[in-house]
Structure 1
Amino acid sequence: MKKATNINGSFSLFFAASGQRVKVEPEVLSYPGQTVNLRCAFTDATGIQLTMVTWIYESKDGNRINIAVFHPNFEPNYPESPLKNRVSFAPSRPNLSSPSIQITNVKISDEGKYICEYATYPSGNEQGITYLVMLAKPTNSASITTVQAGTAPVVVARCESANGRPPAQITWVTTANGNATTTSKPGTENTVTVSSEYLMVPTPEDDGKDITCVVAHRTQVKPEIFPLKLAVQYAPQVAISGYDNNWYIGRTNVVLTCQAMGNPSPESVKWKTISGGEIPDTVQIAGNELKVLKVDDAVNITFVCEVSNSIGMSRDQVTTLVREPSVNPSNAGMVAGAVIGSLLALLLVAALIAVLVTRSRRQHQGYRANGGSDMKTRIFGGGKKASKNGTGGAAGSGGVGGGNNNGPIYVYNESSSHPGLAEKNNHHQPLTIGGRPEVVATTPTAQDILLSNEVDDVERRKFDELEEEERYDHFTGGAPILQLCPPHDQDDMIGDYLDDDMESQRDGSVISRTAVYV
C-alpha cells in the first residue's frame, strides 16, 4: 500500500501555534490512490480533563463534516461523509493523547482542511489544522505553429501542462519580439490544465529563431524544457552576386549567381533580360547560375532573376556594363620593369664609356709638353749625385751647366706623330752641349711608350698623378723637359727609380733600361 509523503519526517516536528497544545502537521502531500496519515496529539494535559476527539473535514466552500469521533467509553465512530469506509483511526484502538487517522485510496476531491478538535474540561474545545494537498503530475507538451510573415500578431508557439494539481507554471525564453498569454481550465478528477500561447508579428528574419517553453510543477524535481524553432513562411528573398563592375571585352567565364532564401524553399529560378529579349548566345544558364563564356557587346544588358515558392515570387536584377579591354596589371609591371632595366643598363654602359674615354684622354694629355716648342728633352742623371761620384763639373768629359750627366740625353719632336715630321725623328740630330757637338738619337714619345706597353702600369700611374707644374721643367731655351723624377727628389733618384726604370752601374752612375744610347 502506498503511503503519502508528509512534509515533516517525524511526529516530533508537528506544528503548534504559540500556546496551542494540539499538535498537527501543517500540510500533507499525497497523490491520488495513495494512503495518507493525518497525525494529532495533545502535548500537555496537566490540570485538564480530555473528554473526546473529533476529526472534521472542511471543503473549499467552507462546509464542515465530521468524519471520525473517538470517546474513551465508546467505540470509534465514522459518520456519513465522502470519506466513509476510507477513513479510520490508527491504530484501530486509539487513545486520547494520540488520535491519528489515515485515509486510504485518496482522491483529488479529498483535498482540503482537516481539523483535529479536542473537547476538554474546564478549557473547552481546542484544535489543530492540517491541510491535505493532493498532487497530480501533469502531462506537458509544446509545439510550433507555422505562420506566414505579416503585419498582425499571431500565435507562433503553444505550450500545455494538462491534468496537473496544483496548476503548473509556464514561461517562455526567446529572442523573438512577442508576448505570451496563459489560461487555465479544469481537467479530469479536479485537476487543472494550463495552456500558454506565444504571440508576435512574424517576419522573415524570425524564421528559425529559438523559442523555449519551460514548465515548472510541484511534482517535478526540476522544470521541464521544450526547445523549439519558429517557423515563419515568406516569399523568396533574391539577390544576384558575381558582378564586379569589370566586364571588359574578351573576358571569359564570368558568372552571375542568383541567391534566394525562402520558406518554403524556392521552387523555381528563371533568368531573363529586362527588355524581354533573347538571352545572348555566349550565355549559359544552369539553375541559379548564369555563365558568360566570353564578354562582348551582346551582354551589355540588364539580367533579371525571378524566384518563386508557394508563398509568392520575388526578383532581382543587375546591369552589366561592358568596358574596353584593360592592361593586365601583371603585364604592365613586367613591361615597366623591362623598360627600367634597359634604361639602367644603358646608363651603366654610357658611364663606362665615359670613364674609358676620360682615362684615354688623360693618358694622351699626360705625356705632352705644355710649352710651344716642338723639341722635348729627357735627361737622366746629373745633379748632386753625379758630383758626388766624381763625374760632375769640369772634371767630367762634359756637362750642361758645368755638370756631367752620365745618362743619355733624349731629343724628340712633339709633332713626331705627324706624318710630315716622322722622318726627321728617325735620324740622328746634332746637339751642342758645353760648346761641343754631341750626337743623340731621337726616341719615341712618352705617349708612344705608354701606348705600346713599353712602360709598366706603375710608371703609367705615376705619370697620371703628377701635377702639371711637377710634370714638366722649362729650360731657358723655352722647350719643356719631361722628367721622370721631380728636381727636389734628385738626391734620392737612384732609390726611387732603381726598381722602376733606372739601373745602377759599376762606376756609380745610373742609366735607364729603356733609353737608346749613341
Structure 2
Amino acid sequence: MWLDSNIRMMQQYSGDDCRVTARNQVTEVTLTAFAGAEVLLPCQGTGNNSTLVHIAWKKDAEKTSFIAYHHKRGVNNSNPHDSSRIVFRNNSLLDASILLKSLQMQDEGMYTCELIVFPQGSHEETMNLTVLVNPINSATPIPATAGLSEVPVARCVSANGNPPAGISWISNLHGNYTTTQNKSDNGTTTVTSLYKVAPTRSTDGQEVTCVVYQTASQSTIPLTIKLSILYPPEVTIIRDDGNGGVSLKCVAEANPPAGTYSWRGLPEGVETNKTSVFVKTGMNGNVSCLTSNSIGTGNDTIEIIFQDPLEGHAIGQTIILSVAVGVLLLVVLATILIVLLIRRKRKAAGFT
C-alpha cells in the first residue's frame, strides 16, 4: 500500500503523461560500531537523469518508518526523543544516508532504506548493524575444601559484552571447565566459565589462567588466578636443645591459617607462647601440640628425655671405673701370656 501510494504520488509529481516502471532493487551492507559512537548508515538512491522523491528508513520487521524525508513535507521522525540522535546526514533528497549518534544496544538490527526514485521506481538498501560492546572481565578463586571430587576452584566472568566473549583456560592441573551465557534485557551477554579440579593440599597456591577473547575488539585478555584450597593443619614440632633446656616450636601448615594452639604433656607452671615453649631439665615424657582451623585439627608429638645431673655423674664414674678395670684385665692377660711364652721357650731349649 505504501509503495503504491508513493508511485501514484510520483506520477502526480512528474505529470500525468509520465509512466513509472517499479523495480525492487536490493543492496545489502554489513556495519559494526561501538556503543556510544556515531555510525553512518549509507543509502544512495539517485543517479544520472533520476529524481529522488521519497526516503523511508525502517528497522527489522517494522512496517512503519522511524524516519522519512518527503520532497514536499520534509523530514518526519516518528520518535521525537530520537530527533537529535537519529538524523539525515543532509536534509536533502540528494542524500538518503542517516547518522545514528550515541549508539545504544537497542540500535542493533537490520535496517532498510526504501527509496522512490523517478523514473526508475522503488529501490532498497539493506544493512545489518552490530553494536559492539567490550565486556568487563574479572577472575576470582573459589575456595574449595581438599577432597576427591571435582569441584569449581576458579571463576572467570566476561560481563555485558556484545558479541559474547570466548573463554578458555591454561593450567598444568588435570581439570575441566564449563561455560554458560546469560543474555540481559539490554542485549548484551555475560559469559561465565568455571574451572573444576579435584583439589588437594598441593593444589593450594597454584595458578591457572583464564583467557578472554573479546570479540568486539578482537583482543585477548589473560587473567591469572591463584587457587585457594582449604585443608586442616599439618603439624610439625621443631626441637632446639640449649640454654639448660629444650625449645619446642609448633609449626602448622593450613588454609585457612590455624587459629588455636594447645600444648599437652608439659610440666605444671611451664609458660607457652602459643606456638613455642621452653622446657627446662628435669622432665621426661611426651609433649604434643594440637592446632585447629575451620576445616579440622592436626597434632604432632615429640619425646623428651632429660638425665639427672647426679645420675649422669654416677654413670660417668661407672664408665671410668669400667674402663680402668678393663685396662687392668688386659695388663694381667698380657703378663700371663708373656710368662707362658717365656716358659715355653725355656722348655723348648732344654729339650733340644
Quickly name the TM-score band, shorter chain normalised. 0.5 to 0.7
Structure 1 residue 37 displacement after superposition: 2.0
Matched, 1:31 2:30: no
Matched, 1:264 2:256: yes
- TM-score of the aligned structures, taking structure 1 as reference length: 0.44
**1:314 counterpart residue number:** 298
- Separation (CA, whole Å) in 1 of partners of 2:225 and 2:59: 44
Matched, 1:135 2:132: yes
Alignment of 1:285-324 (within 5 A): 288=275, 299=284, 304-317=288-301
Partners of 2:54 and 2:69 within 8 A in 1: yes
Alignment of 1:76-475 (within 5 A): 76=74, 78=76, 80=78, 85=83, 87-95=86-94, 98-117=95-114, 127-218=124-215, 222-241=219-238, 257-272=249-264, 288=275, 299=284, 304-317=288-301
**1:40 counterpart residue number:** 43
Higher strand share: 2
Matched residue type, 2:158: S
Query: How far does the alpha carbon of each residue in 1:332-391 deviate from its partner, in whole angstroms, 9 at most, with x for none?
Result: xxxxxxxxxxxxxxxxxxxxxxxxxxxxxxxxxxxxxxxxxxxxxxxxxxxxxxxxxxxx
- Separation (CA, whole Å) in 2 of partners of 1:310 and 1:104: 56
Structure 1 residue 254 displacement after superposition: 6.1
Partners of 2:53 and 2:93 within 8 A in 1: no
Matched residue type, 1:31: A
Secondary structure of 2:299 counterpart? strand
Structure 1 residues 306 and 106 mapped into 2: Cα distance closer, same or farther (>3 Å)? closer
Structure 1 residue 138 displacement after superposition: 3.5
- Separation (CA, whole Å) in 2 of partners of 1:322 and 1:293: 9
Matched residue type, 2:39: V
Partners of 1:78 and 1:88 within 8 A in 2: no
Secondary structure of 2:167 counterpart? strand
Q: Sequence identity of aligned pairs in percent? A: 29
Partners of 1:24 and 1:39 within 8 A in 2: no
- Separation (CA, whole Å) in 2 of partners of 1:284 and 1:81: 82
Structure 1 residues 292 and 108 mapped into 2: Cα distance closer, same or farther (>3 Å)? closer
- Separation (CA, whole Å) in 1 of partners of 2:96 and 2:191: 39
Count, aligned residues: 284
Partners of 2:45 and 2:96 within 8 A in 1: no
Matched residue type, 1:260: A
Query: How far does the alpha carbon of each residue in 1:91-147 deviate from its partner, in whole angstroms, 9 at most, with x for none?
Result: 10131xx42122345432221122345556887655443222223344333333333
Structure 1 residue 190 displacement after superposition: 2.6
> Which range moves more in the overlay, 34-43 or 307-316?
34-43
- Separation (CA, whole Å) in 1 of partners of 2:271 and 2:52: 106
- Separation (CA, whole Å) in 2 of partners of 1:64 and 1:178: 52
- Separation (CA, whole Å) in 1 of partners of 2:184 and 2:222: 22
Matched residue type, 2:136: T
- Separation (CA, whole Å) in 1 of partners of 2:287 and 2:27: 89
Structure 1 residues 87 and 290 mapped into 2: Cα distance closer, same or farther (>3 Å)? closer
Structure 1 residue 267 displacement after superposition: 3.0
- Separation (CA, whole Å) in 1 of partners of 2:153 and 2:291: 26
- TM-score of the aligned structures, taking structure 2 as reference length: 0.60
- Highest CA radius of gyration, 1 or 2? 1
Structure 1 residues 293 and 106 mapped into 2: Cα distance closer, same or farther (>3 Å)? closer
**2:58 counterpart residue number:** 57
Matched residue type, 2:256: P
Structure 1 residue 26 displacement after superposition: 2.8
Structure 1 residue 50 displacement after superposition: 6.0
- Separation (CA, whole Å) in 1 of partners of 2:101 and 2:130: 15
- Separation (CA, whole Å) in 1 of partners of 2:80 and 2:231: 59
Query: How far does the alpha carbon of each residue in 1:224-244 deviate from its partner, in whole angstroms, 9 at most, with x for none?
Result: 55443222221111234559x
Partners of 1:53 and 1:119 within 8 A in 2: yes
CA RMSD of aligned residues (A): 4.6
Partners of 2:262 and 2:290 within 8 A in 1: yes
Structure 1: 5+ residue runs without aligned partners? Answer: 1-20, 326-518
- Separation (CA, whole Å) in 1 of partners of 2:75 and 2:198: 65
